[in-house]
Amino acid sequence: MTETSHRPSGDPAAVPSPSANEPYLVVDELTVRFPTADGLVQAVTDLSYTLEQGKTLGIVGESGSGKSVSSMAIMGLHDYKRTRMSGSIRVGGQEVVGLSSEKMRTIRGGDVAMIFQDPLTSLHPFYSVGSQIAEAYTAHNKASKSQARAKAIEMLDRVGIPQPKSRVDDYPHQFSGGMRQRAMIAMALVNDPKLLIADEPTTALDVTVQAQILDLLQELQRDFNSAIIIITHDLGVVAEMADDVLVMYGGRAVEKGPTREILTHPEMPYTWGLLSSVPDVSADTDARLIPIPGNPPSLLDPPTGCPFHPRCAHRSKVPGDLCRTELPELVTGNRPGHTKRCHLANPDSIYEAEVLPEIAPDLVEVVAEDATPAETGTGLFGPDDEAADGGSVAPENR
Amino acid sequence: MFGYILRRLISGVLVLLVVSVAVFALFFYGPADPAIAYCPETRCTPQRLDNIRTSLGLDRPAAEQYGEYMKGIVAGNDFQAGAITIKCPAPCLGVSFKLRVNVTDYLMERFPATLSIAVGGAVLFLLIGVSSGIYAARRRGTLADRAIVGASLVIFAVPYYLFALLAYLLLISQWGIFPESGYFPLFTDGPVAWAKGLLLAWLVIGLTSATQYARFSRGSMIESLNEDYVRTARSKGLSERRVTMRHALRAAVVPVVTIFGLEFATLLAGTVFTERIFDIQGIGLTALNAINTRDLPVISATVLIAAAFIVIANLFVDIIYSVIDPRVRLT
């Protein structure tokens, strides 16, 4: 911690790079299973991704897709007695899977910190906000009570809580929703983490506060050069925040690549479904959202072949019964750096012909006129940015 | 806070007034005539019965007697019993029919025994109950957890009087593993004699009540261990011990405080079975004897004291809530 504690703000060059040549976070063939009375829950299967310092990865998927479970594995927050984990997670070169709980504790809240979805239930109702932040500080630093308190005030000020000197003694119920999430962020950042995992950080907040919290996270990322994993089902959040996107379905990565690439040229029908279910605030008020048909797959007994095939409208376009019988590999599609898990041979033309007209009919004409297919994508970029992240409703929240 | 306590105390006094009226009413309009209890069965004439009623003051209207009783509590009262005057300063709870002594003094004499049983028992059941509850919650589903839950159910299922009686008969009378029970005042006979006489009574109360607290605190501990804020505490990198004791337990004790307050008040009001079986002259045994001899002043005094303890315990529980949980404001 010592080399990071006096990081000059806004100067990423002063941050030491990870010792090895590999990225700060490497998740390699991570598999997480929970044995239960009903059977083995296959929460995460063969998940691999990497994340560099200063970059943001958005993990998108519905409830039960494994996005939170895989991130909690990085923190070592699963009860090891009730969890079977295999594969590898390396944080700054340190293998985390199978690490003793004592060693894990020094990483947790120190180099890796986490922000949770609902700040009201995630903060302890019986302790003041300041003492909860101070506790996170003293857990990793030798500090007196007054030093820790001063640090808590400093952090509250840093995340934009007005009058931090008096608010430090307030209890969570005396804070507004947005302030509580700021306090959570202050608590997560108190030890200058190199990796911040934000698990749906804006889901419980109203839209204006959402935008403020996302701005705050971006600002703090610039100052501290942390890597951020943002878990969300809100594609607007991803469009604003993430450098890369990982789409998860049924515990597996189904599409992965740079954000702009994924949002403008999605190649996997599940991602199309996610894009279709984002409401367009500029559209006709009578326009209906297009939900993904069916329910998320059972993790106890996942579908054979491609996990998405029972809900996939395009599986008839794949020859034979391939979708049902064979799990597609995560392979590079039509563009480099963009991988997908799908048997469809020509996803681009299907997307342009069938999906795009449904999502954004007005864009199709533009595409037809100036022949730059789908460059404007789904309206998640450009002037519509604010509207999209503000107004979008996640598939599972409807 | 102060205004709140004052209001609660005033409403508590009202509760006690209602209780005292109810006790009087039960006594006067109930089927048992106290005078008959003091009239020798073989030589009881109506004349003699009337004399007894007059000497006990039972011939006057009930309202008048109640008024005098209340006056005694507030201002004190002197009683004429034949040639002697029994002084009874406030708070005067009357004079015992049977023993012709000041009830207040009489009960105060017996209260230390009851208090000793209550405090010792409460310390044991809290220690045994809450700690085994936490232990079981943290090892939910394991053999240890099942053993604790199973054992507590078995003990809980045995009627208390049977458990206490068997403990006395086997452990003291039969095998002599424990010293002979009884109450020896702490300050005159010393702590060793005091503790020896009460030891088995404490253990019996401790063990039987601990079953409740074990299951109760296990349940609320499991609940709070699953709270989001406990996950947050873990994610900060706190030690498992700190997560359990500081974060989960603080929330889990709230419901335990409720039942503890009421149970402790009940213990202070006298433990009839315990005192009877272990031959300890406390409030419970006194109440039992008073009921058998229809000694109205003693009965109403013990009932009033019991009610007062419940009222005070409730107030304490609410104050403790506001200390534990900053969201609770006493207004």
Of B8 and B57, which is predicted with more confidence? B8
Residues of A in contact with B250 (CB under 8 A): 124, 126-127
Residues of A in contact with B233 (CB under 8 A): 124, 135
**Short-list B180, B132, B123, B181, CA closest to B155:** B132
Average pLDDT of the residues in B26-46 = 76
d(CA A166, CA A188) in angstroms, rounded, equals: 21
Average pLDDT of the residues in A359-365 = 63
Cα separation values, A278 from A235, A272, A391, B278, Å: 8, 10, 8, 75
The residue type at A143: A
Residues of A in contact with B232 (CB under 8 A): 116, 122-124, 184, 187
Separation in Å, CA of B150 to nearest CA in chain A: 21
Exposed, middle or buried: residue B199 (CB in 10 Å: 0-12, 13-18, 19+)? middle
The pLDDT > 70 percentage for chain A reads 84
**Short-list A217, A212, A267, A215, CA closest to A245:** A267
Q: Is A74 on the interface with B (CB under 8 A)?
A: no
Average pLDDT of the residues in A249-270 = 91
**A105–B235 CB contact, under 8 Å:** no
CA angle A326, A329, A330 (to 5 degrees): 150
Residue range B104-324 in CATH 1.10.3720.10:
yes
Contact present, A124 and A132 (Cβ < 8 Å):
yes
DSSP label at residue A310 = G
pLDDT at A15 (0 to 100)? 40
State both tokens at B210. 């601990």
**A126–B227 CB contact, under 8 Å:** no
d(CA A138, CA B238) in angstroms, rounded, equals: 9
**B327–A75 CB contact, under 8 Å:** no
**B237–A77 CB contact, under 8 Å:** no
CA angle A181, A186, A192 (to 5 degrees): 140
d(CA A70, CA A89) in angstroms, rounded, equals: 10
Residues of B in contact with A124 (CB under 8 A): 229, 232-233, 247, 250-251
d(CA B95, CA B50) in angstroms, rounded, equals: 19
Q: A114 by DSSP, 3-state: which? A: strand
pLDDT at A172 (0 to 100)? 94
pLDDT band at A149 (very low <50, low <70, confident <90, very high): very high
Element spanning A31, H or E: strand A25-36
State both tokens at B71. 């006056």
d(CA A155, CA A190) in angstroms, rounded, equals: 7
**B236–A135 CB contact, under 8 Å:** yes
> Which of A77, A125, A128 comes nearest B235 by C-beta?
A77
Who's near A376: CB < 8 A, 6+ residues apart? A264, A363, A366, A367, A382
Question: Which of B143, B234, B257 is the best mutation test for A, with the most CBs of A within 10 A?
Answer: B234
Separation in Å, CA of B1 to nearest CA in chain A: 19
State both tokens at A373. 């297919």
| Domains parsed from chain A with CATH numbers | 1-111+191-398 (3.40.50.300)
d(CA A100, CA A117) in angstroms, rounded, equals: 27
pLDDT band at A258 (very low <50, low <70, confident <90, very high): very high
Long-range contacts of B141-148 (CB under 8 A, 24+ apart): B145/B218, B148/B214, B148/B218
**Short-list B79, B108, B73, B104, CA closest to B91:** B73
Task: Enumerate the β-bridge partners of residue A256.
Answer: A246, A339
Separation in Å, CA of B255 to nearest CA in chain A: 15
Instruction: With a threshold of 0.95, tell me whether the complex ipTM lies above it.
Output: no
Residue A153, φ and ψ in degrees, nearest 5: -65, -45
Q: B281 by DSSP, 3-state: which? A: coil
Report the half-sphere exposure of A67 (CA within 13 A, side-chain side): 26
Mean pLDDT of chain B: 88
pLDDT band at A347 (very low <50, low <70, confident <90, very high): confident
Which residues of B sit within 8 Å Cβ distance of A?
227-229, 231-240, 247, 250-251, 324-327
Q: What is the pLDDT of residues B314-326, one digit of tens each?
A: 889 988 888 888 8
The residue extents of the domains of chain B are: 104-324
Q: What is the pLDDT of residues B214-239, one digit of tens each?
A: 999 999 999 999 999 999 999 999 99
d(CA B237, CA B325) in angstroms, rounded, equals: 24
The reply to whether omega before B91 is within 30° of 0 (cis) is: yes
DSSP label at residue A50 = E
Q: What is the pLDDT of residues A201-239, one digit of tens each?
A: 888 778 888 888 899 899 889 988 899 999 988 888 899
pLDDT at A381 (0 to 100)? 55
State both tokens at A140. 């990793």
For residue A120, pLDDT over 70 is answered with yes
pLDDT band at A361 (very low <50, low <70, confident <90, very high): low
DSSP label at residue B191 = H
Of B37 and B122, which is predicted with more confidence? B122
For residue B43, pLDDT over 90 is answered with no
Strands A56-60 and A39-51: unpaired
CA angle A307, A33, A119 (to 5 degrees): 95
d(CA A271, CA A333) in angstroms, rounded, equals: 14
Separation in Å, CA of B241 to nearest CA in chain A: 12
